[in-house]
Amino acid sequence: MKIIVLVKHVPDAQFDRHLNGEGYTTDRSESILSELDEYALEAALQLAEARGGSKAGNQVIALSMGPSGAVNAVKKSLQMGATEGVHLTDDALAGSDAAATSLAIAAAIRHLGADAPVDLVLTGMASTDGETSLVPAQLAERLGLPQVTFASSLEVDGGRLTARRDADTYSETVEAPLPAVVSVTDQINEPRYPNFKGIIAAKRKTITTLSLSDIGVDPAQVGHAGSWTRVTSAEERPPRTAGTIITDEGDAGIKLVDFLAAQKLL
Protein backbone atom coordinates (compact mmCIF):
# COMPACT_ATOMS: atom_id res chain seq x y z
CA MET A 1 0.00 0.00 0.00
CA LYS A 2 1.00 3.54 -0.61
CA ILE A 3 -0.29 5.78 2.13
CA ILE A 4 0.22 9.52 2.40
CA VAL A 5 -0.20 11.01 5.87
CA LEU A 6 -0.66 14.76 6.17
CA VAL A 7 1.31 16.13 9.09
CA LYS A 8 1.22 19.72 10.24
CA HIS A 9 3.69 21.75 12.22
CA VAL A 10 1.54 23.81 14.58
CA PRO A 11 2.16 26.21 17.45
CA ASP A 12 2.37 24.30 20.71
CA ALA A 13 -0.92 24.84 22.52
CA GLN A 14 0.95 24.75 25.84
CA PHE A 15 2.10 28.29 25.12
CA ASP A 16 0.22 31.45 24.21
CA ARG A 17 -0.38 31.58 20.50
CA HIS A 18 -0.41 34.71 18.36
CA LEU A 19 -1.60 36.06 15.07
CA ASN A 20 0.56 38.63 13.33
CA GLY A 21 1.49 40.26 10.07
CA GLU A 22 -0.66 41.76 7.36
CA GLY A 23 -2.85 38.68 6.93
CA TYR A 24 -3.04 37.87 10.65
CA THR A 25 -1.32 34.54 10.14
CA THR A 26 -0.32 32.26 12.97
CA ASP A 27 3.09 32.78 14.52
CA ARG A 28 4.80 29.41 14.04
CA SER A 29 7.70 29.71 16.45
CA GLU A 30 7.45 27.13 19.27
CA SER A 31 5.78 24.69 16.88
CA ILE A 32 5.45 20.92 17.10
CA LEU A 33 3.90 18.06 15.13
CA SER A 34 0.14 18.49 15.61
CA GLU A 35 -0.91 16.02 18.27
CA LEU A 36 -3.95 14.99 16.26
CA ASP A 37 -1.80 14.01 13.27
CA GLU A 38 0.03 11.39 15.33
CA TYR A 39 -3.14 9.29 15.30
CA ALA A 40 -3.25 9.39 11.50
CA LEU A 41 0.40 8.40 11.31
CA GLU A 42 -0.10 5.53 13.76
CA ALA A 43 -3.10 4.30 11.74
CA ALA A 44 -0.96 4.33 8.59
CA LEU A 45 1.91 2.50 10.28
CA GLN A 46 -0.47 -0.19 11.56
CA LEU A 47 -1.99 -0.70 8.11
CA ALA A 48 1.50 -0.97 6.56
CA GLU A 49 2.80 -3.31 9.27
CA ALA A 50 -0.22 -5.61 8.90
CA ARG A 51 0.79 -5.99 5.25
CA GLY A 52 4.44 -6.85 5.89
CA GLY A 53 5.80 -3.34 6.36
CA SER A 54 8.28 -1.57 4.13
CA LYS A 55 10.01 -4.86 3.19
CA ALA A 56 6.81 -5.86 1.41
CA GLY A 57 6.80 -2.55 -0.43
CA ASN A 58 4.38 -0.68 1.81
CA GLN A 59 5.04 3.03 1.87
CA VAL A 60 4.01 5.53 4.51
CA ILE A 61 4.82 8.99 3.21
CA ALA A 62 4.61 11.89 5.69
CA LEU A 63 3.71 15.05 3.79
CA SER A 64 3.87 18.48 5.37
CA MET A 65 3.16 21.84 3.81
CA GLY A 66 4.68 24.83 5.51
CA PRO A 67 7.69 27.07 6.02
CA SER A 68 11.18 25.73 6.77
CA GLY A 69 10.33 24.71 10.34
CA ALA A 70 7.59 22.38 9.10
CA VAL A 71 10.29 19.87 8.18
CA ASN A 72 10.39 19.07 11.90
CA ALA A 73 6.92 17.53 11.67
CA VAL A 74 8.22 15.33 8.84
CA LYS A 75 11.32 14.37 10.86
CA LYS A 76 9.24 13.34 13.86
CA SER A 77 7.03 11.26 11.55
CA LEU A 78 10.10 9.48 10.18
CA GLN A 79 11.25 8.77 13.74
CA MET A 80 7.88 7.22 14.49
CA GLY A 81 8.23 4.97 11.44
CA ALA A 82 7.12 6.70 8.24
CA THR A 83 9.19 5.35 5.35
CA GLU A 84 9.79 8.68 3.65
CA GLY A 85 9.09 12.35 4.06
CA VAL A 86 7.99 15.14 1.78
CA HIS A 87 8.14 18.82 2.63
CA LEU A 88 6.09 21.09 0.39
CA THR A 89 7.47 24.56 0.92
CA ASP A 90 7.35 27.81 -1.00
CA ASP A 91 7.22 31.42 0.09
CA ALA A 92 4.10 31.88 -2.01
CA LEU A 93 2.20 29.41 0.20
CA ALA A 94 2.22 31.70 3.23
CA GLY A 95 -1.24 32.76 4.31
CA SER A 96 -3.11 30.03 2.40
CA ASP A 97 -6.66 29.40 3.64
CA ALA A 98 -8.21 25.93 3.57
CA ALA A 99 -9.15 26.23 -0.11
CA ALA A 100 -5.64 27.22 -1.19
CA THR A 101 -4.07 24.66 1.15
CA SER A 102 -6.20 21.86 -0.25
CA LEU A 103 -5.36 22.97 -3.79
CA ALA A 104 -1.61 22.77 -3.14
CA ILE A 105 -1.81 19.49 -1.23
CA ALA A 106 -4.01 17.93 -3.91
CA ALA A 107 -1.37 18.87 -6.50
CA ALA A 108 1.39 17.42 -4.30
CA ILE A 109 -0.56 14.16 -3.91
CA ARG A 110 -1.08 13.90 -7.69
CA HIS A 111 2.66 14.49 -8.10
CA LEU A 112 3.50 11.77 -5.55
CA GLY A 113 1.07 9.40 -7.24
CA ALA A 114 2.62 9.86 -10.67
CA ASP A 115 4.91 6.81 -10.44
CA ALA A 116 2.62 4.47 -8.48
CA PRO A 117 -0.93 5.36 -7.42
CA VAL A 118 -1.69 6.45 -3.88
CA ASP A 119 -4.12 4.10 -2.07
CA LEU A 120 -5.00 6.19 0.93
CA VAL A 121 -4.58 9.72 2.26
CA LEU A 122 -4.78 9.92 6.05
CA THR A 123 -5.15 13.05 8.14
CA GLY A 124 -5.94 14.04 11.71
CA MET A 125 -9.49 15.13 12.57
CA ALA A 126 -8.51 18.81 12.58
CA SER A 127 -5.39 20.89 12.81
CA THR A 128 -4.82 22.17 16.31
CA ASP A 129 -4.22 25.72 15.04
CA GLY A 130 -6.88 26.64 12.46
CA GLU A 131 -9.26 23.96 13.71
CA THR A 132 -11.60 24.35 10.74
CA SER A 133 -11.44 20.64 9.65
CA LEU A 134 -12.10 21.81 6.09
CA VAL A 135 -8.97 20.51 4.40
CA PRO A 136 -9.69 16.73 4.28
CA ALA A 137 -13.12 17.26 2.68
CA GLN A 138 -11.79 19.87 0.25
CA LEU A 139 -8.93 17.59 -0.69
CA ALA A 140 -11.37 14.76 -1.40
CA GLU A 141 -13.51 17.07 -3.53
CA ARG A 142 -10.48 18.28 -5.51
CA LEU A 143 -9.14 14.76 -6.04
CA GLY A 144 -12.59 13.35 -6.83
CA LEU A 145 -12.22 10.82 -4.02
CA PRO A 146 -14.56 9.53 -1.33
CA GLN A 147 -13.91 11.00 2.07
CA VAL A 148 -14.42 9.36 5.42
CA THR A 149 -13.95 11.80 8.25
CA PHE A 150 -13.74 11.27 12.00
CA ALA A 151 -13.01 7.56 11.69
CA SER A 152 -12.66 5.92 15.10
CA SER A 153 -11.71 2.59 13.51
CA LEU A 154 -10.34 1.75 10.09
CA GLU A 155 -9.89 -1.51 8.23
CA VAL A 156 -8.72 -2.03 4.69
CA ASP A 157 -9.48 -5.23 2.82
CA GLY A 158 -8.62 -5.51 -0.85
CA GLY A 159 -9.68 -2.33 -2.57
CA ARG A 160 -12.19 -1.22 0.09
CA LEU A 161 -12.11 0.38 3.46
CA THR A 162 -14.52 0.06 6.33
CA ALA A 163 -14.62 2.62 9.10
CA ARG A 164 -16.68 3.37 12.17
CA ARG A 165 -17.78 6.89 13.02
CA ASP A 166 -19.36 8.07 16.23
CA ALA A 167 -21.55 11.15 16.25
CA ASP A 168 -23.45 12.50 19.25
CA THR A 169 -26.72 10.81 18.45
CA TYR A 170 -25.66 7.86 16.32
CA SER A 171 -22.84 5.53 15.49
CA GLU A 172 -22.34 4.36 11.93
CA THR A 173 -20.29 2.05 9.76
CA VAL A 174 -19.22 3.27 6.35
CA GLU A 175 -17.55 1.72 3.33
CA ALA A 176 -15.67 3.27 0.48
CA PRO A 177 -13.55 2.11 -2.43
CA LEU A 178 -9.86 3.02 -2.43
CA PRO A 179 -8.28 5.42 -3.05
CA ALA A 180 -9.92 7.58 -0.40
CA VAL A 181 -9.23 10.42 2.01
CA VAL A 182 -9.73 9.46 5.65
CA SER A 183 -9.46 11.63 8.75
CA VAL A 184 -9.16 9.83 12.08
CA THR A 185 -10.08 10.83 15.63
CA ASP A 186 -7.96 10.49 18.73
CA GLN A 187 -10.00 7.42 19.65
CA ILE A 188 -8.61 5.24 16.86
CA ASN A 189 -5.33 4.17 18.47
CA GLU A 190 -2.54 5.03 20.88
CA PRO A 191 0.31 6.63 18.89
CA ARG A 192 3.74 5.14 19.54
CA TYR A 193 6.69 7.17 20.83
CA PRO A 194 9.77 7.27 18.63
CA ASN A 195 12.31 4.87 20.19
CA PHE A 196 16.11 5.05 19.90
CA LYS A 197 16.14 2.66 16.93
CA GLY A 198 13.53 4.77 15.19
CA ILE A 199 15.46 7.97 15.79
CA ILE A 200 18.64 6.45 14.34
CA ALA A 201 16.79 4.89 11.39
CA ALA A 202 15.13 8.24 10.61
CA LYS A 203 18.52 9.83 9.90
CA ARG A 204 18.93 7.54 6.88
CA LYS A 205 15.48 8.24 5.43
CA THR A 206 14.93 10.65 2.58
CA ILE A 207 13.07 13.92 2.87
CA THR A 208 12.09 15.29 -0.52
CA THR A 209 11.52 19.02 -0.77
CA LEU A 210 8.91 20.15 -3.26
CA SER A 211 8.25 23.69 -4.45
CA LEU A 212 5.18 24.97 -6.27
CA SER A 213 6.90 24.63 -9.63
CA ASP A 214 7.63 20.95 -8.89
CA ILE A 215 3.93 20.27 -8.46
CA GLY A 216 2.75 22.57 -11.24
CA VAL A 217 0.90 25.11 -9.13
CA ASP A 218 0.81 28.78 -10.09
CA PRO A 219 1.81 30.91 -7.07
CA ALA A 220 -1.24 33.11 -7.73
CA GLN A 221 -3.51 30.14 -6.83
CA VAL A 222 -2.19 29.89 -3.27
CA GLY A 223 -1.12 32.05 -0.35
CA HIS A 224 -2.93 35.30 0.34
CA ALA A 225 -3.41 35.83 -3.40
CA GLY A 226 -5.12 32.50 -4.00
CA SER A 227 -7.16 32.30 -0.82
CA TRP A 228 -10.91 32.68 -1.03
CA THR A 229 -11.21 34.18 2.43
CA ARG A 230 -9.39 37.07 4.01
CA VAL A 231 -8.99 37.88 7.68
CA THR A 232 -9.79 41.59 7.97
CA SER A 233 -9.16 42.11 11.66
CA ALA A 234 -7.91 40.20 14.67
CA GLU A 235 -8.12 41.29 18.25
CA GLU A 236 -6.56 39.46 21.12
CA ARG A 237 -9.20 38.83 23.74
CA PRO A 238 -8.28 40.23 27.10
CA PRO A 239 -7.26 37.28 29.26
CA ARG A 240 -9.93 36.22 31.71
CA THR A 241 -9.18 37.36 35.19
CA ALA A 242 -9.87 35.43 38.32
CA GLY A 243 -12.99 36.40 40.21
CA THR A 244 -13.93 35.51 43.74
CA ILE A 245 -12.19 32.46 45.20
CA ILE A 246 -13.49 31.00 48.45
CA THR A 247 -12.48 28.02 50.56
CA ASP A 248 -15.27 25.65 51.55
CA GLU A 249 -16.21 26.03 55.19
CA GLY A 250 -19.18 23.72 54.96
CA ASP A 251 -21.49 26.10 53.10
CA ALA A 252 -19.76 26.55 49.72
CA GLY A 253 -22.61 24.75 47.93
CA ILE A 254 -25.07 27.34 49.27
CA LYS A 255 -22.71 30.19 48.34
CA LEU A 256 -22.43 28.72 44.86
CA VAL A 257 -26.21 28.84 44.50
CA ASP A 258 -26.24 32.42 45.86
CA PHE A 259 -23.70 33.35 43.19
CA LEU A 260 -25.77 31.69 40.43
CA ALA A 261 -28.91 33.47 41.66
CA ALA A 262 -27.08 36.83 41.70
CA GLN A 263 -25.95 36.19 38.10
CA LYS A 264 -29.55 35.27 37.16
CA LEU A 265 -28.41 31.82 36.08
CA LEU A 266 -30.87 29.75 38.05
Kindly identify the residues of this chain, within the stretch 41-70, that bind other proteins according to CB under 8 A: none
Residue 196 CB, nearest distance to other proteins (Å)? 27
CB under 8 A: which stretch of 53-61, 87-95, 123-131, 205-213 binds other proteins?
123-131
Does 99 help bind other proteins (rule: CB under 8 A)? yes
Residue 148 CB, nearest distance to other proteins (Å)? 5
The count of residues in the chain is 266
Helix (H) or strand (E) holding 33: strand 31-33
Stretch 136-195 residues interacting with other proteins (CB under 8 A): 136-138, 140-142, 144-150, 162-163, 166-176, 180, 186-187
**How many chain residues touch other proteins (CB under 8 A)?**
87
Does 16 help bind other proteins (rule: CB under 8 A)? yes
Residue 205 CB, nearest distance to other proteins (Å)? 28
Does 233 help bind other proteins (rule: CB under 8 A)? yes
- Compare residues 18 and 205 and give the one whose CB is closer to other proteins: 18
Does 35 help bind other proteins (rule: CB under 8 A)? yes
| Packing angle of the helix pair 71-80, 196-203 (nearest 10 deg) | 120
Q: Which residues contact 184 (CB under 8 A, 6 or more apart)?
A: 39, 40, 43, 122, 123, 124, 125, 150, 151, 152, 154
The one-letter code for the residue type at 50 is A
Q: Which of 25, 46, 133, 221 is close enough to bind other proteins by CB under 8 A? A: 133
Instruction: List, in sequence order, every residue forming a beta bridge with 183; answer none if it has no partner.
Output: 123
CB under 8 A: which stretch of 48-56, 57-65, 82-90, 96-104 binds other proteins?
96-104
Radius of gyration of the chain (CA): 21
Q: Are 4 and 122 contacting, i.e. CB atoms less than 8 angstroms apart?
A: yes
Does 218 help bind other proteins (rule: CB under 8 A)? no
Cα–Cα distance, 151 to 158 (Å, whole number)? 19
Reference 176, options 167, 189, 164; nearest CA is 164
Residue 186 CB, nearest distance to other proteins (Å)? 5
- Compare residues 23 and 198 and give the one whose CB is closer to other proteins: 23
3-class SS of residue 110: helix
